[in-house]
Chain A
Amino acid sequence: MNGIGEFQTILLVEDNPDDEELTLLAFKNNHIANSIIVVHDGAEALDFLFRRKAYANRDVRSTPRLVLLDLKLPKLSGLDVLIELRNNEMTRFLPVVVLTTSNQDEDIINSYKYGANSFIRKPVEFSKFNEAIKSLGLYWLVLNEVPLSTKTALAKG
């Protein structure tokens, strides 16, 4: 694992505390040591990413390498967040994995339409969920390459 460094953060957008805890547990269980920042609704997610309001003074180095986005969120929905991200030059190429309980075709189609990089349905079974988080971490944090410009853009933002 890469360990802690610049742009190694994961942003988890999740309003359900159980899901939040389980996701964090699964990351820990799979020895994914990246720091995980949790926000609980769509508006907060955008504030964090664009360093607005409460997050105006956050360290640019905490800009995430990966966003795990639930769809059903208070205030702004996951899809709305996705649209905002893709419309902004800074976050245009930021990897976003939709991690949700829904498996409705409509949600899957819309997620890809608005630029999600991946769509994962949270499996109910513990072992499968564990497995999913493990694969996810390995793929998006280790194997996947992001253009340098994204990192720079995020840093400047």
Chain B
Amino acid sequence: MVLSIIQNISIIIAAEVLYHFLSQSFSGKAYLIAILNGILFGLTAVLAMMTPFRFETGIIYDGRTIVIGIATLFGGPLTGSIASAIAAGYRIFIVGGTGYLAGVLSILEAFVIGAIFNRIRKHAKLAHEWPIIVAASMLIHVFMLLAQLFLPNQRWRLVLPVISPVVLTIYPIGFILISTLFIEAEKKAQAHKELEASEERYRQIFNNRHTVMLIVDPQTGAIIDANPAAEVYYGYSHEILCRMKVADLNTLSPEEVRQEMARAKSFQKNAFQFRHRLASGEIRDVEVFSGPIIFSGKQYLYSIVHDISEKMEAKRKIVEMNENLEKIVSRRTEALESANLELESFAYSVSHDLRAPLRAIEGFFGFLMQEIAEINPSLSDNARHYQERIRFNITKMNLLIDDLLNLSRIGTQELSLQSVDMSELAKEVVNELQSENPGRRAAIIIDPAMTCVADKALLKIALTNLFSNALKYTSTVIQPAIRFSSMDKDNERVYFIKDNGIGFDMQYAGKLFTPFQKLHSDKRYPGTGIGLSIVRRVISKHGGKIWAEAVPDKGATFYFTLGG
């Protein structure tokens, strides 16, 4: 019996080889495999039954429980049932005899237990593999012995003592042995499947139609493989591409290409910018991401090619536009500088040439009046008045020239910024103005500690003009009051000089800062009409703003900021 079962086990091992051959040949067609394997195992069982241990006619013992159990456990219920049907058919119709019921029941219980453990195995963890196999092998053969109870005439009493030791030892061992082969083969098949799947994934990535990819031999520069996107992009067929070298695409010299590839190979660099030539002759800017890969023991370079022509074109345009802009700016600056220079020389002329005749008039007028006084010491009132008017107008003309000069100078002057205590500067200005006009007694309040960053000399000119105006336009009110203060508005420091003077109609506010525009009569409020223009120029030179609010006969407030 032992010899017979060992022979049977060999048959099953042979079947196992066939089983895997079938599984791989028809991979993907699960049902066909199950059916073919069912037939295979069925025939194996038949083969086993043909070389049995014969207890007596019609009562045979062989490896069919192992075959069916394994077929069902590893092949699944479909394979198992087909194999079972073939085996059972053979047992009933070909072998027949008294033991057929026990024989068929053995087949059936092996199938049922195989199916149960097939199911358990599917849901179990890998670590529980061996307990499942051992349990299945033991259970199948315990039940096989129990099936002998169905032998006629209580033959089991004779049979069991003979077969039990073998069925409970050699049979499970054989079962476990064959299972080992199946498990190993399954593992291999699984690994193979995973490998195929991953290869498929990478092939899909490589074969996409959007990202240009090349595989290059860094030694020769030969293109080993190119994907469909590369064919589309370069306009060469796969065959032609694979006969080309990288240097055929790159506009760099072959030597330069070789050097760059060496850098990519040694991980020194993985992103490159090249110009690639297409089949059409068109040259495109490309960014190439490249790095080494190893297959079949040899190092290659993979290259992902990304067209950046549009990006480069846009960049070139930006650079070009910037250059143009710079040219325009420098041209305008030049024009501005020459205009400034002209203005400066104009200012110089004004100061020198316009003043000279005025001084001559004044000088000769002085000597004339001296001569007249010598001849006739007592001048008539009219003559004195005329003399006064001439003097007054000469002085005014002189002031006008001074103011015009200041105005044009402020425009051309470079700012020299420093931290300025505006409160102190304002006090200084007020003192100077009051000493020039001791008659004017206004109540002047200056907020303490107003500091700013400004050109002190220019700021003084501005403050002088503003305070001079405030004093001038409050000179006719009974209790003149002037306040210099500051506040925060829209995150900006706003300074203001407020007076209770004669104010002005807001309708004319726009004219305030225009040269020679005066809102009040020259007789009561003399001036050149340039002062506020000078102030505005100083303020705007600092990047600040100036504006005014007023109510006629209630007063005016001049606000200014200093930028920055």
A122 at the interface (CB under 8 A from B): yes
A101 at the interface (CB under 8 A from B): yes
Across-interface contacts of A124 in B (CB, < 8 A): 355, 358-359, 362, 394-395, 398
Interface residues in A91-107 by Cβ distance below 8 A to B read: 100-104
Across-interface contacts of A101 in B (CB, < 8 A): 351-352, 355-356, 359
B367 touches A25 (CB 8 A): yes
Complex Cα distance, B355 from A100, in Å, reads: 11
Complex Cα distance, B394 from A130, in Å, reads: 16
Across-interface contacts of A126 in B (CB, < 8 A): 362-363, 365-367
A/B pair count, beta carbons within 8 Å: 58
B360 at the interface (CB under 8 A from A): yes
A72 touches B352 (CB 8 A): yes
Across-interface contacts of B359 in A (CB, < 8 A): 18-19, 22, 101, 122-124, 129
Which A-chain residue is minimally distant from B363 (CB atoms)?
A22
A104 touches B351 (CB 8 A): yes
Q: How many residues of B contact A (CB 8 A)?
A: 20
Complex Cα distance, B409 from A104, in Å, reads: 10
Which A-chain residue is minimally distant from B402 (CB atoms)?
A103
Question: How far in angstroms is the closest Cβ of chain B from A131?
Answer: 11
B356 touches A125 (CB 8 A): no
Task: Tell me the interface secondary structure of chain B in the complex.
Answer: helix
Q: How many residues of A contact B (CB 8 A)?
A: 21
Interface residues in A28-49 by Cβ distance below 8 A to B read: 29
B55 at the interface (CB under 8 A from A): no
Across-interface contacts of A18 in B (CB, < 8 A): 356-357, 359-360, 363-364
Across-interface contacts of B348 in A (CB, < 8 A): 102, 104
B351 touches A19 (CB 8 A): no
Interface residues in B211-228 by Cβ distance below 8 A to A read: none
Question: How far in angstroms is the closest Cβ of chain A from B124?
Answer: 101
A16 at the interface (CB under 8 A from B): yes
Known: A124-B359, A124-B398. A22 touches B364 (CB 8 A): yes
B352 touches A125 (CB 8 A): no
Across-interface contacts of A122 in B (CB, < 8 A): 359
A127 at the interface (CB under 8 A from B): yes
Complex Cα distance, B365 from A126, in Å, reads: 8
Question: How far in angstroms is the closest Cβ of chain A from B353?
Answer: 8
Across-interface contacts of B362 in A (CB, < 8 A): 124-126, 129
Complex Cα distance, B357 from A102, in Å, reads: 14
Across-interface contacts of A16 in B (CB, < 8 A): 356, 360
Across-interface contacts of A103 in B (CB, < 8 A): 351
Complex Cα distance, B358 from A50, in Å, reads: 35
A129's partner among B356, B357, B363, B398 (CB-CB below 8 A) is: B363
Complex Cα distance, B358 from A16, in Å, reads: 13
Across-interface contacts of B355 in A (CB, < 8 A): 101, 124
A19 touches B395 (CB 8 A): no
Complex Cα distance, B366 from A22, in Å, reads: 10
Complex Cα distance, B110 from A18, in Å, reads: 142
Complex Cα distance, B405 from A111, in Å, reads: 21
User: CB-CB contacts of B359-393 with A at 8 A, as 1s and 0s?
Assistant: 11011111100100000000000000000000100
A125 touches B395 (CB 8 A): yes
Which A-chain residue is minimally distant from B354 (CB atoms)?
A101
Question: How far in angstroms is the closest Cβ of chain A from B125?
Answer: 96
Question: How far in angstroms is the closest Cβ of chain A from B340?
Answer: 15
Complex Cα distance, B239 from A140, in Å, reads: 105
A127's partner among B351, B352, B358, B366 (CB-CB below 8 A) is: B366
User: CB-CB contacts of A68-110 with B at 8 A, as 1s and 0s?
Assistant: 0000100000000000000000000000000011111000000
Question: How far in angstroms is the closest Cβ of chain A from B402?
Answer: 9
Which B-chain residue is minimally distant from A28 (CB atoms)?
B367
Complex Cα distance, B391 from A124, in Å, reads: 10
Across-interface contacts of B370 in A (CB, < 8 A): 29
Which B-chain residue is minimally distant from A129 (CB atoms)?
B363
- Beyond A127-B366, A129-B363, 12 extra complex contacts between A and B, CB < 8 Å: A16-B360, A18-B356, A22-B364, A22-B367, A26-B363, A72-B352, A102-B351, A122-B359, A124-B362, A124-B398, A125-B391, A130-B366
Give the top 6 A-B pairs by smallest Cβ distance, nearest first.
Answer: A126-B366, A18-B360, A22-B363, A124-B398, A124-B359, A101-B352
A-B pairs with beta carbons under 8 Å apart, 17 shown: A16-B356, A16-B360, A18-B356, A18-B359, A18-B364, A22-B363, A22-B367, A25-B367, A101-B351, A101-B359, A102-B351, A122-B359, A124-B355, A124-B359, A124-B394, A125-B395, A127-B366
